[in-house]
Amino acid sequence: MASPDKLKRLNLEKLSLDQLADQLGLPPSSHAHYVAAAELARRQALWQRDASEAMQASAKYMRWSVIAIAVTTSLVALFTFLLWWWP
């Protein structure tokens, strides 16, 4: 059987941000306040990890976009030079 502390943590995972903020509004000396603060810190860490993964995916697409633009620009410059040099 799960310990009561683990059950509290599992219950906090299901709370919305508004409900978690209400838990944080309890007196700072209460156990529930510290548990809610820990849950908020855990959620922030998860959000930061997700944002980091999204940034890495975005950087990958940005790199390929820059490569495609460089290739296109080089081809346009080459064709422009050939049309100018070769009447």
DSSP 33: H
pLDDT in tens, 34-63: 888 888 898 899 999 999 999 998 998 999
Instruction: Specify the pTM.
Output: 0.58
Tell me the pLDDT tens digit for each residue of 74-87: 999 999 999 988 76
Instruction: State which amino acid sits at residue 16.
Output: S
Q: Where are the domains of the chain?
A: 4-85
How far lies 34's CA from each of 31, 55, 57, in Å? Answer: 5, 31, 35
